[in-house]
Amino acid sequence: MSNESDNSIPKTIIDRNYSLQFVKYIIKFSLVVGIVMSTSLTANAQILNIERARVERDSANYFTGKAGFNFSMFNRNAGKDNPNNFLQLTFNSDLAYISEKHSYLLLNYYNYLLINYDNKEQRNTVASNGHIHFRANLLRQRRLSYELFTQFQTDKARGLDLRTLAGAGVRLAVFRHENTSLYFGSGLMHEHETWQSPETGNQIKSDLAKLTNYVSTRAVLNSNVTIEGIVYYQTGYDSGIEAFRNRVSGDTNLLFKLNNVLSFRTGFSCTFEDKPIVPVTRFVYAITNGVQLNF
């Protein structure tokens, strides 16, 4: 009886069971990697929360930072024998070195998304974005300090092949207490962008001198809950269109401390550009939830 029963099971059901087991294995593997390496990852890299890597301590000459890694693989049905397959890898890290007088921040982010990666009948679609941002805060303990910064960025999904910028500015501590702080920053920068037009496929380049401003705040609500946020406003005159190009962006995060190493983070970030270099969506946003590793 048992042999006849086993032989009567359709092969499609057996294959489906193997597929389910494989999917369950991948899910378990992703969860383990996500918990160990953290999964507090952002889908859009237009926003840089420079406050995320800053710390206030009485000591000096030490490194501190945060790191995260995310891996996911899944599919969605696009026909009987034609599923859409997705593979996504995301990495981010914030590293800071605090000296007696100055601080140095290195912020890194990279997201890679591959669609239909094993479907030979359809063309693979790759969407990747990321940035490297370095910032030095000189005379950091003064109420009015100075900043130098540079950045490299790409966002293939929006058609941004490369954005490079470099600049300098001042940072004013409006107030800073043990549990709350408010800062205002202003400076000048040069921004170079190379875009690919979604309509013609041609490359369009832009070089602008810009005024960059930000307001940032951080509040410790209690021993386990912290909220932090930053809003940027950047503007520059483009003689090609005889008008100013304006960009407003923001990032807010709510952190729940789980222990001395792990925190749960939920965040919202967005960017609005009134006159994009190429015709793309002017307002983009991301909502994220994840676990953050602190070291």
Tokens of 67: 């790191």
Q: What is the pLDDT of residue 50?
A: 62
Q: Among all chains, which residue has been given the structure tokens 């790409």?
A: 154
Give the residue numbers spanning the domain of 82.
Answer: 38-294
Instruction: Specify the number of domains making up the chain.
Output: 1
Q: What is the pLDDT of residue 39?
A: 34
pLDDT in tens, 35-77: 333 333 333 334 556 665 565 555 678 888 878 777 777 776 6
Predicted confidence (pLDDT) at residue 6 exceeds the cutoff of 50: no
* Structural domain includes residue 161: yes
* Structural domain includes residue 33: no
Please state, rounded to an integer, the average pLDDT across all residues of the chain: 79
* Structural domain includes residue 103: yes
Predicted confidence (pLDDT) at residue 231 exceeds the cutoff of 90: yes
* Structural domain includes residue 147: yes
DSSP-assigned states of every residue in the chain: -HHHHHHTS-HHHHHHHHHHHHHHHHHHHHHHHHHHH-----S--S---GGGG----S--SEEEEEEEEEEEEEEE-SSTT--EEEEEEEEEEEEEEE-SS-EEEEEEEEEEEEESTT-TTS--EEEEEEEEEEEEEETTTSSEEEEEEEEEEEEGGGTEEEEEEEEEEEEEEEEE-SSEEEEEEEEEEEEEEEEE-TTT--EEEEEEEEEEEEEEEEEE-SSSEEEEEEEEEEEEEETTTTEEEEEEEEEEEEEEE-SSSEEEEEEEEEEEESS-SSS--SEEEEEEEEEEEE-
* Structural domain includes residue 7: no
pTM over 0.75: no
- Indicate the pLDDT class of residue 17, thresholds 50, 70 and 90: low
Q: What is the pLDDT of residue 53?
A: 55
Q: Among all chains, which residue has been given the structure tokens 């087991």?
A: 21
* Structural domain includes residue 122: yes
Tokens of 38: 């953290």
d(CA 189, CA 150) in angstroms, rounded, equals 9
Q: What is the pLDDT of residue 81?
A: 61
Which CATH number covers residue 181?
A: 2.40.160.40
* Structural domain includes residue 8: no
**Exposed/middle/buried for 15, CB within 10 Å: 0-12, 13-18, 19+?**
exposed
- Pairing between β-strand 283-294 and β-strand 262-273 as defined by DSSP bridges: antiparallel
pLDDT in tens, 114-166: 877 555 555 566 778 899 999 999 999 999 999 999 999 998 888 899 999 99
- Indicate the pLDDT class of residue 28, thresholds 50, 70 and 90: very low
Question: 31 or 247: whose pLDDT is higher?
Answer: 247
Across residues 256-270, what is the average pLDDT?
87
Q: What is the pLDDT of residue 125?
A: 67
Across residues 238-245, what is the average pLDDT?
94
* Structural domain includes residue 29: no
